[in-house]
């Protein structure tokens, strides 16, 4: 299973999750979109590439869900997306890591069980919500 951490979340988050998965979630591969596709790569270019690997995008860019063209690309290429809903001023590196670690098992479970395409919002407080 391939997960892609959007560049707005840092390549170090992807590296950390990939390391933590070893020995526990052996079929999970976590990559940074920044390192895989290049810094500043457009969502319109990234989404089809993620779709080719039956991948899942993790981002805090809610505009992907709100922008019709990008939303349609997600549907067309059948990707899963998890949107991290960070509170303003609370979107620092460490807060992102805590939110992902707290929800990681559920993210993997939903990615295995849900029919693609799918989208979920992960708030800092409360439960994950299907979009």
Residue 65 has pLDDT above 80, yes or no: no
User: Quick check: helix, strand or coil at residue 32?
Assistant: strand
Q: pLDDT tens-digit profile of 13-39?
A: 899 898 888 888 889 999 999 999 999
Q: For residue 124, which of 60, 31, 77, 37 has the smallest C-alpha distance?
A: 60
Let me know: does 111 contact 81? Beta carbons within 8 Å.
Answer: no
Q: Which two tokens stand for residue 53?
A: 């690997």
Of the candidate ranges 8-12, 44-48, 92-96, 102-106, the one whose mean pLDDT is the lowest: 92-96
pLDDT score of 93: 76
Share of the chain above pLDDT 70, in %: 95
Spell out the domain ranges in the chain: 2-130
DSSP 129: E
Which class would CATH give 2-130?
A: alpha beta
Q: For residue 37, which of 29, 27, 28, 45 has the smallest C-alpha distance?
A: 45
Q: pLDDT tens-digit profile of 49-64?
A: 999 999 999 998 876 7
pLDDT score of 81: 95
């Amino acid at each position: 299973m391939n997960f892609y951490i959007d560049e707005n979340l840092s390549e170090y988050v992807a590296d950390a999750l990939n390391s933590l998965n070893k020995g526990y979630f052996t079929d999970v591969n976590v990559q940074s979109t920044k390192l895989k596709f290049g810094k500043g790569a457009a969502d319109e270019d990234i989404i089809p590439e993620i779709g080719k690997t039956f991948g899942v995008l993790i981002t805090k860019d809610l505009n992907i869900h709100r922008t019709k063209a990008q939303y349609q690309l997600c549907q067309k290429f059948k990707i899963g997306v998890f949107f991290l809903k960070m509170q303003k001023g609370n979107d620092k590196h460490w807060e992102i890591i805590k939110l992902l670690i707290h929800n990681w098992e559920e993210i993997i479970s939903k990615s295995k069980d849900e029919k693609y395409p799918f989208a979920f919002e992960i708030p800092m407080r409360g439960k994950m919500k299907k979009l």
